[in-house]
Structure 1
Amino acid sequence: MPTFTKDSPVYIYYPIFKWGVYGLLAINVVLFFLHETFIEGLETLAWVALLLLFEWETSQLDKPYTNKWEKYSIHIGRFIAYAVILYSAYEYATPEYRAENGPLDMYNSLTWLGIVALLEYDVYANGLYGRVEWHIRNTIKVILYAALFVYAGMWAYEGGILDFYDATLWIICFFAIELNIFKFEETLPYSGEEMGKDKPVS
């Protein structure tokens, strides 16, 4: 299990890894706008915005918001991103879309929504959960991420190289978010009695 002490290799190389994959994801957004539909490019951009908001939040889970503008900006950005993402999920679930493209996009979208729902809980209830709850939450995450790997493999099998690359890159990027959370959780006793970051700002 990785540790984040200042002299550990994980602590030293993790930021390089993290921002490297985020950079690849930025290139991926451009590829989607060039080679896929505008809506798919817009959805990808919304997911990138949500990812960066999670990066901002999870990289400082032990700190409060600096002011109300930071808090409201994050909430507004998250609201806009989720609006686009949920609309896309709805489109993937329509009978017309599934008849033309199959149900895989719908399954992928719903699985990601499950993951970000758990991440929202990680952000806003950090340090408030006990050990059993921690195990349950992370077991569900493992199942959801495993499903995403299956979807990526199915896209690769069907010859969707860009879809496979995109799916794999997103999984790696969200692993970076999970590592941010793990870094914070290393400091917690998981007793359910210790509190993490109290997010409200007066």
Structure 2
Amino acid sequence: MFNTSAIQYPKSKLSILALLALNAVIYGFTDTLTSFADALVWVVLLVIYELEANKVGLPLGETAMRHLRSGLIGVIGLVFASYWRDSEWLDVANSLLWFGLIAILETEVRWPDYVRRHPRFFWLATIATFTGLLAMAGVWLARGAWLDGYDAVLWIVAFGFIEVDIFHLLKRKRSV
């Protein structure tokens, strides 16, 4: 059974999740169906990673959750193809960075022993990915694309605080 009491959500995490859900709705009303699907699928994927990271009793089995994650990642791939087709190069570059983050997270979930054997590589890869994402947010804000800039910053905060635990990541471990 799905055990929601196992997660002690600070108000900051709940606030970020609420802002992300609102963000998806805003895209639904103000932008394309592709942007709405992109935002919504990412919210669901983030929640799944959070549940798995906190070892919560999931509503589906581990195999079903893996298939669900893979399906969501497939939708994100289709959104990427749409950005590529429409020559939306900032969105393409941003998507590639997020694919990098997904690869890191999937590796942590599926092959944790491998990650433990190569902590320096995964630490550097995560730092490089977040640096690139911050640069993308800066580009959108500099171009006056406020919704895209806000969206980028919100997602960086969401993954940084909810999933990756940015404070823990930034403390360089002795083994790194």
Residue in 2 that maps onto 1:156: 141
4+ residue runs over 3 A deviation? 127-131
Contact 2:53 2:163 in 1 (8 A): yes
**Long gaps (5+) in structure 2:** 1-7
The TM-score normalised by the length of structure 2 is 0.82
SS class of match (1:105): helix
Q: Greater helix share, 1 or 2? A: 2
Q: Deviations over 1:62-86 (max 9, x none)?
A: x8x679x422331232122112100
Following superposition, the deviation at residue 149 of structure 1 comes to 0.5
CA distance in 2, matches of 1:127, 1:74: 20
CA distance in 2, matches of 1:106, 1:45: 18
Aligned residues: 164
SS class of match (2:144): coil
Residue in 1 that maps onto 2:165: 179
Contact 1:49 1:77 in 2 (8 A): no
Larger radius of gyration: 1
- Structure 1 residue 110 and structure 2 residue 96: aligned? yes
Structure with more contact order per residue of length (Cα contacts < 8 Å, sep ≥ 6): 1
AA aligned opposite 2:144: G
CA distance in 1, matches of 2:129, 2:72: 21
AA aligned opposite 1:70: G
The TM-score normalised by the length of structure 1 is 0.72
Following superposition, the deviation at residue 140 of structure 1 comes to 1.0
Contact 2:83 2:92 in 1 (8 A): yes
